[in-house]
Structure 1
Amino acid sequence: MNCENEKITLPSDHSTSMGALQNWLDTFKRAEPGVGKEPSFGGEPSETGGEKKQPLGKDEFANTTVAVKTEDGGIIAVPEETSLKRTLRGRHIQFIAIGGSIGTGLFVGSGSNLNTGGPGSIMLAYIIVALMIIPVIFALGELSAVLPVTGAFSTYATRFIDPSWGFAMGWNYHLQWLVTFPLEATAATILITFWDTDEKVPKGVWIAIFWFIIAFINLFGVRGYGEFEFFTSLIKVLGIIGFIICAVVIDCGGSPSGYYMGARGWHTTNAFMNGFKGFCSVFITAAFAFSGTELVGLAAAETSNPRREIPKASKQVLFRVLLFYILSLFMITLIVPADDDRLQGSSNDARASPFVIVIEMGQIYALPQIFNAIILLSALSVGNASVYGGSRTLLSLAEQGMAPKIFRYVDRAGRPLPSVFLSLAFGALGFLIYASNSNTVFTWLLSISGLSAVFVWGSTCLAHIRFRQAWSRQGNTLKMLPWASPLGVWGSVVGVSLNILVVIASFYGSAWPVDEGTMTGSDRANNFFQNMLSLPIVILFFLGHKLWTRSRYVHLDEIDVQTGRRDPVSEEFLEQERAEIRALPMWKRCLSAIF
């Protein structure tokens, strides 16, 4: 063989780089829809000739999504290609559930709550909201395990309650996250003034940096969101655990100050400052602090195995609420008096965080710097979650025909680009910090998201009640569910009731505010709508869609409980799983029930 005249061309570094760049650019093209072809599951021949399809095995269900009926009346799982990528793993879901919602609402906003309502009011209000959120997450866990669909809340409301209510919930939730992004960007600049007291670096620069970080993370799709939330949630969890230990030491007099605090915060001022009005005024900020807890349900559609991971995450909510919210706030109320002047600067002072104040009172001078960095990281985390939550909700609305078709676009990497770009564009509102009336603008933006989550939580519980009724009426049993809420339907009834009570209490606190004696009629009107703006927005969306489409209430017999299922529908399969758990030692069964 004569090789002398042959040319051998080796790939150059330049061509390799260009190929990698082209491959990356190709990921921005529209995702191609799957063919939805049924696989051969194996089994005995059926009467009609072909193979009789059997329920899938445990490992095969990770990539199925739709349940369909066969000729003999059985139900099998059929693969359906989804444009969104199912790349979230168990560790992502666990940490999104554990620490994803912990942000400036808890770290900073709780200071204004303490200053307004006193230690008794803040503890009682947060406990009530916690009791409200637990059945919500359990209900959401059940629905997401059996129906891990895009959009979660709005989709459940549309299918199980009323299309107009689903429209209202979807747009209400989308608006909540749209305005949260610029609010968190602004909060981040305020937190940075903890170090940059002279503002040597303009606030606009920090907002731009914040924006580019969030945009960069979202270039990596849902995997980028999951990895960032895993990292930040881990830091937040370790930070709060460290804070609780530190607060116990400070309270007992073991800090450098050497001063025994005891229950100083409860004795220095009235436990229920401003009476019932003060108590009612705490609810809106308390609800904002818990906002984002429900994101684990939204992430179910992009989870590799939702029927296994979503229940695990849902069961952890009780311990997260008790440890990270209730216990940490209780330690704060013991140490920080409600009339501490530093709490009054919660809206514009980085040192107004009661967490930082506790550490400063113990005279541990290095820790405030560290904890403020954790709070800053949490602002980034919530900003990232706002882009994720807003974009996925808008995608769901578009898929249901409730938003412009352009927002149905999903690229080959599983990114809903138009929806993501819209969420990022709203982040530019953070530059309004330079406006002369910036405080007024941001107050009104915050009012949009104030009670938004409360309506979504109540809607989720109501959807769960309706799902259970339809599930039973259509001949299904609870044993056929991959996971059932430990609190059942009655837990959701309690959840709906508490949501209604929170709205009523917020209405009262907004109509008759604590300082109404010093306010003009115009000031009281502004205060009311700033706190309750979510209510007329929801009503407007609901009535507008109802009048435009003439949609009607979904009857139980018409509720679709099959489309979108990605779980084993064989009762024998689920019973086998339960038998495996029953065969475990007692301590492992206890851990399985809890975690």
Structure 2
Amino acid sequence: MSPEDTSGKSSDTKGAIIYETKDVNSVQHEGMSIYSSDPKKSWFQNLVDGFREYELEELDPSLTPAERAAIATARSPLKRHLKNRHLQMIAIGGSIGTGLFVGSGKALRVGGPAGVIIAWILTGSMVYSVVQALGELAVTLPVSGSYMSYVSRFIEPSFGFAIAYNYLLSCLITMPLEIVAASLTVSYWNVPKKYADGFVALFYVVIVSINLFGVKGYGEAEFLFSIIKVLCIIGFIILGIVLVCGGGPNNEGYIGGRYWHNPGGFAHGFKGFAAIFVTSAFSFAGTEMFALAAAETENPRRDLPRAAKQVFWRITLFYIISLTLIGCLVPYTNKHLFAATSVDATASPFVIAIKDAGIKGLPSVVNVVILIAVLSVGNSCIFAGSRTVLSLSQYGYLPKIFAYVDRKGRPLVGLLLCMIFGLLSFLSASPKRPVVFEWMMAISGLSSFFTWGSVCICHIRFRRALAAQGRSTDELAFKAQTGVWGSIYGIILILIALVFQFWVALFPIGGRPSAETFFSAYLSLVVVLFFYMCHKLYTRNWTLFIRAKDLDIDTGRREVDLDLLKQEIREEKEYIASRPIWYRIYRFWC
């Protein structure tokens, strides 16, 4: 790519780009223009100016659509306000939500304690491979709307279009669902139903307000939310060990693996295990969120690898250990587990274990944490949805107005779209709410599997492109610890999970086959295929994939000098190798 490829920018031969801006109130930082307030204006004038569009130089019209889209996502004027501590907590606590606190109750009832542990270990290993692959891509190419950008660049545009819209629908739908879930969670304290709409409005305003503060507001909120969730899980692990050893107020004596023998380790045999595979995946949804924030991270090369590595600790400590303790403390025949369709603490196996031990007061504390977890998911949905809208517009898949980013780095039109969909939460007052929300959930049911599978394919294609273009992995600041084989492993497990879900959707446990049951579980696939075929028919481009030698693996890099980068990577490796073994082990995992 030559320096003349775009107007208002300069570039080295490797494709790293530095852009100019027409905004007079901006300063340059790491090649990116950052808006600063004018001290001569009043605070109100600066506030109003902050909402005005951030103007970038127009791209060269002679560029191909693919080149224009790649450059647009690379130079997106989103603010780089996320620090290492934000990414660490987003990585550690970003996916700890109702899937773990409440969804694990239904999983325990259907699959039994052994089924839960096996499902979560397999899903955790799959997600670990996905996050490693995504970490490598995000560190190398920290572009806006990363999932869609990678799929369109490393596979082909139609597939990227389908995956992006599926992900966007998931975010737009999940946000109002989580707001309603938060309002229902409050009912644990016997709040009158007539106040339900008031809580919906309150939580809606809270989530929207957080995101109007920009990426810094999102980062600080998730930092606080994640700390609370992590402390809750750590506290439960300590308490659970005490209870398993017989230290509870009820003094039942040593419990150990009692419930693994009676009523048993598996509730419905192999089919029960297959049925909870998607439930376990749902509990990990949001793990990939750290990569979506790559374009808004101060130092992605330093911070993103650490965030990607933290997934191992989250899987091991927070999921496997806590769920093992749950399996020891709560039998899958417990009557309270059959309320697992609820979102309040009565359906949570964590609360059931505490109540059965005779401990008072703590269930309300856990319910507060569940409420925070629900709001955290809603907060992440509006963040992710607005960035996906921005990326779709940059690729020409939405009108240009949706690419509006103000001088504070907020994708305002994308935020507005998410806010409009968030108003669906007020359907909670409708008598048709259960039916409407059931089908809304069906649209996003398998979204995570498609997102994760596409990431693994992108990683494989990225490595293939490096080899085909005579490049090596020595130029990568972070290489996936699981390598290409980890991505292959992830794809295999995802395919197995989809087969399991197809089987259970067609022949549900304890029920008869029906079209409603099947499509409520598999509607996401129909959505993906619909968008894929629509794009193919519209563009008349029947290419299944872009050839490896033609893939763009440079646009979006922040490192201008790759030779200097390689030298820095060698020096870092030599430094780590010179340190004691405990430090080398620490750096490998953290």
Q: Which residue in the other structure is 2:78 paired with?
A: 84
Give, as a single letter, the amino acid of the residue that structure 2 aligns with 1:26.
D
Q: Which residue in the other structure is 1:542 paired with?
A: 532
Give, as a single letter, the amino acid of the residue that structure 2 aligns with 1:390.
G
| Contact preservation (8 Å) 2:181, 2:343 | no
> How do residues 402-441 of structure 1 correspond to structure 2 at under 5 angstroms?
402-441=397-436
1:228 aligns with 2:209: no
Residue 114 of structure 1: which of 98, 108, 112 is its match? 108
Shift of 1:349: 5.8
Give, as a single letter, the amino acid of the residue that structure 2 aligns with 1:562.
D
Q: Which residue in the other structure is 1:558 paired with?
A: 550
Q: Which residue in the other structure is 1:263 paired with?
A: 257
> How do residues 465-476 of structure 1 correspond to structure 2 at under 5 angstroms?
465-476=460-471
Q: Which residue in the other structure is 1:395 paired with?
A: 390
| Contact preservation (8 Å) 2:76, 2:144 | no
With 174-183 and 578-587 compared, the bigger mean Cα shift is at 578-587
Q: Which residue in the other structure is 1:26 paired with?
A: 49
Q: Distance in 1 between matches of 2:305 and 2:135?
A: 6
Larger radius of gyration: 1
Shift of 1:200: 6.0
Percent identity over paired residues: 45
Give, as a single letter, the amino acid of the residue that structure 2 aligns with 1:565.
R
Shift of 1:81: 5.2
With 213-222 and 341-350 compared, the bigger mean Cα shift is at 341-350
Q: Which residue in the other structure is 1:52 paired with?
A: none
Q: Distance in 1 between matches of 2:502 and 2:458?
A: 24
Q: Distance in 2 between matches of 1:446 and 1:109?
A: 14
Count the aligned residue pairs.
534
| Contact preservation (8 Å) 2:81, 2:298 | yes
Residue 446 of structure 2: which of 445, 451, 472 is its match? 451
| Contact preservation (8 Å) 1:332, 1:355 | yes
Residue 486 of structure 1: which of 481, 484, 491 is its match? 481
Structure 1: where are the runs of 5+ without partners?
A: 1-15, 37-67, 69-78
With 25-34 and 222-231 compared, the bigger mean Cα shift is at 25-34
1:167 aligns with 2:176: no
| Contact preservation (8 Å) 1:92, 1:229 | yes
Q: Which residue in the other structure is 1:76 paired with?
A: none
Shift of 1:575: 1.3
Give, as a single letter, the amino acid of the residue that structure 1 aligns with 2:245.
C
Q: Distance in 2 between matches of 1:236 and 1:377?
A: 8
Q: Which residue in the other structure is 1:61 paired with?
A: none
Q: Which residue in the other structure is 1:207 paired with?
A: 200
Give, as a single letter, the amino acid of the residue that structure 1 aligns with 2:56.
P
The change in CA–CA distance for 1:133 and 1:200 in structure 2 (over 3 A counts) is closer
Q: Which residue in the other structure is 2:4 paired with?
A: none
> How do residues 174-185 of structure 1 correspond to structure 2 at under 5 angstroms?
174-185=168-179
Q: Which residue in the other structure is 1:5 paired with?
A: none
The change in CA–CA distance for 1:452 and 1:81 in structure 2 (over 3 A counts) is closer
Residue 350 of structure 2: which of 343, 352, 355 is its match? 355
The change in CA–CA distance for 1:579 and 1:531 in structure 2 (over 3 A counts) is same
Shift of 1:274: 2.0
| Contact preservation (8 Å) 2:576, 2:584 | yes
> How do residues 62-77 of structure 1 correspond to structure 2 at under 5 angstroms?
none
Shift of 1:198: 4.8
How high is the TM-score relative to the length of structure 1? 0.87
Q: Distance in 2 between matches of 1:219 and 1:265?
A: 48
Give, as a single letter, the amino acid of the residue that structure 1 aligns with 2:534.
G
Q: Distance in 1 between matches of 2:321 and 2:57?
A: 48
Residue 310 of structure 2: which of 308, 316, 320 is its match? 316
Q: Which residue in the other structure is 2:35 paired with?
A: none
| Contact preservation (8 Å) 1:99, 1:233 | yes
Give, as a single letter, the amino acid of the residue that structure 2 aligns with 1:32.
E
Structure 2: where are the runs of 5+ without partners?
A: 1-38, 60-66, 68-72
Residue 250 of structure 1: which of 231, 243, 256 is its match? 243
| Contact preservation (8 Å) 2:187, 2:193 | no
Shift of 1:151: 1.0
| Contact preservation (8 Å) 2:248, 2:358 | yes
Cα RMSD (Å): 2.0
Q: Which residue in the other structure is 1:495 paired with?
A: 490
> How do residues 322-341 of structure 1 correspond to structure 2 at under 5 angstroms?
322-341=316-335
Q: Which residue in the other structure is 1:525 paired with?
A: 515
With 166-175 and 430-439 compared, the bigger mean Cα shift is at 430-439
1:218 aligns with 2:211: yes
Deviations 1:510-552 (A, max 9, x none): 1110012xx4x5xx21111111111111111111111211232
The change in CA–CA distance for 1:529 and 1:338 in structure 2 (over 3 A counts) is same
Q: Distance in 2 between matches of 1:268 and 1:531?
A: 31
Q: Which residue in the other structure is 2:281 paired with?
A: 287
Shift of 1:490: 0.7
With 574-583 and 493-502 compared, the bigger mean Cα shift is at 574-583
Shift of 1:590: 2.1
SS at structure 1 position matched to 2:42: helix
Residue 305 of structure 1: which of 299, 304, 311 is its match? 299
With 209-218 and 120-129 compared, the bigger mean Cα shift is at 120-129
| Contact preservation (8 Å) 1:132, 1:498 | yes
Give, as a single letter, the amino acid of the residue that structure 1 aligns with 2:180.
T
Deviations 1:49-100 (A, max 9, x none): xxxxxxxxxxxxxxxxxxx9xxxxxxxxxx9853101111101111100101
